[in-house]
Amino acid sequence: MSDGLNEIACCSGSQPVFREPGFWRRGGWLLPALPLWFVVYHFLEPFANWLAYTRLGLAPASRLGSAVAFFAYDAPKVVMLLALVVLGVTFVQTFISPDRTRDILAGRAGIWGNVLASVFGIFTPFCSCSAVPLFIGFVRVGVPLGVTFSFLVSAPMVNEVALFLLLGLFGWKIALIYAGTGLTVAFLAGWVIGKLRMEKHLEDWVMQIDFKPSTIQEARKSFSDRLDLAVDGVRDIVGKVWPYLLAGIAVGAFIHGYAPEALMAHIMGKAAWWSVPLAVLIGVPLYSNAAGVIPIVQALLGKGAALGTVLAFMMAVTALSLPETIILRKVLKPRLIAVFLAVVTAGILLVGYLFNAIM
Amino acid sequence: MKIEILGTGCAKCALLGKHADEAARSLGLDYELTYVKEIPDILAHGVMSTPAMAVDGVVKVQGHVPTSRHIEKLLLG
């Protein structure tokens, strides 16, 4: 794979020389690092208990004791899990690009287009700041409007990192419910918008502007290129979200140790009909990375909050955000924005009530 | 060599610019690095996922931030 480069380097004397890194730099470090990760991860809980109950001498039954043990166990656990998940997810994402997704979705009208777009929305990596060019790129090569919306809703709502964090923390059932309900909302939102035929509610410049998609031939990436990108991803995401994670875990630890179960169950339990809309209302102005919400979700579930309510909260935090709405206003006329927000909100409420009813 | 960084100006675009700069400098190239921030100009390059990088008008990177080591390869190839 890198032979071409060596040729360049060896056969043209004046050209700058590209040095190929050694075995350890190319990914050999994974061989000791991965087993080490599992060993450390395995001993986190006994270590946290030792720290809280033996070293600090707190009583296991006391509120302070259980809050400290929760924090000492959870903080390193979630950060380690996050690092591993981001490494894996980013590595896989080096094989996927918005351009490829767009070409797959182009011209796919009908229900399958919405289904595919929702699924691709989970794994296709894209920076939220490129939402406008991406939207135009999709619509202009013939991805139907409703299918484009399924993608745009699913991408933030079902976060691939959050999905695997949930899997690691709560098991496959909760992870599946999270992915399944998020996909359903994305599918429904896009399908409804497609049925409403709202193409005329795009801003005029969207269809008028000069755009011809460039087909680029990116240089082939080697294993070590992809691994480098994954490590960069870990550095970037863990570096960005760890303060939120720690804050989330601290709130979680407080809830774990101090919030009375009866009160929590009363406020966020399934008996209170208003808890789902309230969770959405609280969630919308909070715009956080999905990874930062998860520790709070964990503590809420542990204290008897209803699953539907917690899901609604999480989806509202990640899928509905003021900054993104403002960005999308550049390409959507007010009525389409309103329909978009209404449909997504309705979908989230539906998921909340549905799960409170059946679980 | 003309290196253009395409993107609306988020943190990732700045990072791509930094990596491209490092790569071009470590290769000792004669280059000029500019930022393309207006959405119509970005679209005119045929780019829909940012951050992106064009070298002498040819788009080489779309939608992610390669390491500067990888950009070195792209600049040479």
Q: What is the pLDDT of residues A269-279, one digit of tens each?
A: 767 788 889 88
Our measurement of the distance from residue A127's CA atom to the centroid of its chain's CA atoms, rounded to an integer in Å, reads 12
Query: Would you say residue A12 has pLDDT above 50?
Result: no
Instruction: Kindly report, residue by residue over A118-152, the tens digit of the pLDDT.
Output: 999 988 887 777 888 899 999 999 999 999 999 99
B46, A219: Cβ pair inside 8 Å? Answer: no
Mean pLDDT of chain A: 83
| Three-state secondary-structure class, residue B5 | strand
Q: Do A218 and B73 touch (CB under 8 A)?
A: no
Percent of chain A with pLDDT over 70: 89
pLDDT at A241 over 50: yes
pLDDT in tens, A62-74: 888 888 888 888 8
* Mean pLDDT value of segment A299-321: 83
Q: Residue A88 pLDDT > 90, yes or no?
A: yes
pLDDT at A218: 65
Catalytic option among B10, B11, B39, B48: B10
For the beta sheet containing B32-36, the strands, ordered from the edge strand earlier in sequence to the opposite edge, are B32-36, B2-6, B52-55, B58-62
Nearest to A130 among B49, B69, B77 (CB): B49
Q: What is the mean pLDDT of residues A260-269?
A: 70
> For residue A288, is pLDDT > 80?
no
With an 8 Å Cβ cutoff, are A228 and B50 in contact?
no
Please answer yes or no on whether A210 and B44 come within 8 Å at the CB atom: yes
Give the domain B2-76 fold. Glutaredoxin (3.40.30)
Closest residue in chain B to residue A236, using alpha carbons only: B12
> In the annotation, is B13 catalytic?
yes
The pLDDT tens digits of the residues spanning B29-70 come to 999 999 999 988 999 999 988 899 999 988 988 888 888 888
Q: Is pLDDT larger for residue A230 or for residue A6?
A: A230
Q: What is the pTM of this model?
A: 0.82
Own/partner long-range contacts of B13-16 (Cβ < 8 Å, ≥24 apart): B13/A129, B13/B37, B13/B50, B13/B51, B15/B51, B15/B65, B16/B51, B16/B52, B16/B53, B16/B61, B16/B65, B16/B66
**Predicted confidence (pLDDT) at residue A10 exceeds the cutoff of 50:** no
Cβ-defined contact of B67 to A225 (cutoff 8 Å): yes
Closest by alpha carbon to B76, among A23, A97, A14?
Answer: A14
Residues of chain B positioned with their CB less than 8 A from the CB of A7: none
Q: What pLDDT was estimated at residue A194? A: 92
The domain ranges of chain B are: 2-76
pLDDT at position A19: 63
pLDDT per residue as tens digits for the range A311-359: 888 888 878 877 778 888 889 999 999 999 998 899 899 888 988 887 7
The nearest CA of chain A is from the CA of B2 a distance in Å of: 17
What single letter denotes the amino acid at residue A94? T
Per CB distance under 8 Å, which residues of A are interface residues toward B?
4-5, 8, 15-16, 18, 21, 94, 97-99, 102, 125-127, 129-130, 132-134, 136-138, 205, 209-214, 216, 218-219, 221, 225, 228-229, 232, 330
